[in-house]
Structure 1
Amino acid sequence: MKSFILLSALVAFVAADSIEYYTTGNDYYDVDAMMKDSTSFKKFVDCYLDVGPCDALTASFKVNANEAIATACRRCNDAQKHLVNRTFWGLKNLHPEYYEKFQKKYDPDNIYFADFEKAVAGY
């Protein structure tokens, strides 16, 4: 009986600590190619900044953006962290004017971005 209780407690602990990762349309999307293609990049940016329509793939990423930023990508899997890291590298280095717009839209009080970017660095 003690073994059963101990096993039940262990299962409950593991279940409580498990993370439900985000679901996206493609965790292995080639962000680098998109950043270099002006048409694809414009569609991506317009979607995220609410100035243009979102295709299904970009919408599948955007739907989690606010929560992911506010929680330092806690529910992102490693592939998603890689996508975010490459996306923000591209925004900062290739399109800095849009990096500022992203930050103002998704973290206007500059509370979350530093921790968010630290969480995905190195992926």
Structure 2
Amino acid sequence: MKFLLILSVVAASALARPEDLYDDSNIQLDVDELISNERLMKAYAACFLSKGPCTTEGSKVKQLLPEAVENICGKCTAKQRGMVRKMVVAMRERLPSEWEQLVATYDPEGKYQPKFEDFLALNE
């Protein structure tokens, strides 16, 4: 089953036309800096939860979140998929309360959780 998921993600990535992918040229988010700074991670979580102000970058990411969750980052570039994985792993480990709120906000019924866990397990 996991092989089929991996194969479908790779195939979707290969077949996706550039206009089908999210544009990452206008998002200048340094994920390594973000995950190394708990205060900054909390600020982004607050932004994504509409509980605090958003930076320009945070606003851009927040706009993409609902669709990216729904299609399990299917329109993400390889760079964006790596960024998402890093951010999620860091938030789940260091900000579990904020992570639970994000899940409740963007996947309240848990419909996407199993596929999302498979996505996180991929090593692209």
- Structures share a fold, TM > 0.5? yes
- Residue 81 of structure 2 corresponds to 81
Q: Which moved more, 1:82-91 or 1:31-40?
A: 31-40
Paired letter, 1:106? Y
Give the equivalent residue in structure 1 for 2:103. 103
Tell me, in whole angstroms, the C-alpha distance in 2 between the residues paired with 1:45 and 1:78.
23
| Cα RMSD after superposing both structures | 2.0
Between Structure 1 and Structure 2, whose CA radius of gyration is higher? Answer: 1
How many equivalent pairs are there? 107
- Which SS does the other structure have where 1:76 is aligned? coil
Hey, what does 2:58 align to over in structure 1?
58
Deviations 1:85-107 (CA, angstroms, capped at 9, x unpaired) = 00110011121121111110100
Which aligned segments of 4 or more residues in structure 1 are displaced greater than 6 angstroms? Answer: none
Residue 4 (structure 2) aligns with: none
User: Structure 1: which 5+ runs fail to align?
Assistant: 1-15
Residue deviations 1:53-101 (CA, integer Å, cap 9, x gap):
1111111111111101111111000000001000110011121121111
One-letter identity of the residue aligned with 2:69: I
Aligned to 1:122: 123
Residue in 2 that maps onto 1:26: 27
Question: Alignment identity in percent?
Answer: 23
Counterparts in 2 of 1:18 and 1:40: CA distance versus 1, 3 Å: same
Shift in alpha-carbon separation, 1:56–1:113, aligned structure 2, 3 A: same
The verdict on how the C-alpha distance between 1:61 and 1:93 changes in structure 2, with shifts beyond 3 A counting, is: same
Shift of 1:17: 5.7
TM-score normalized by the length of structure 2: 0.75
Q: 1:79 to 1:17 in 2, by over 3 A?
A: closer
Q: Residue 39 of structure 2 aligns with which residue?
A: 39
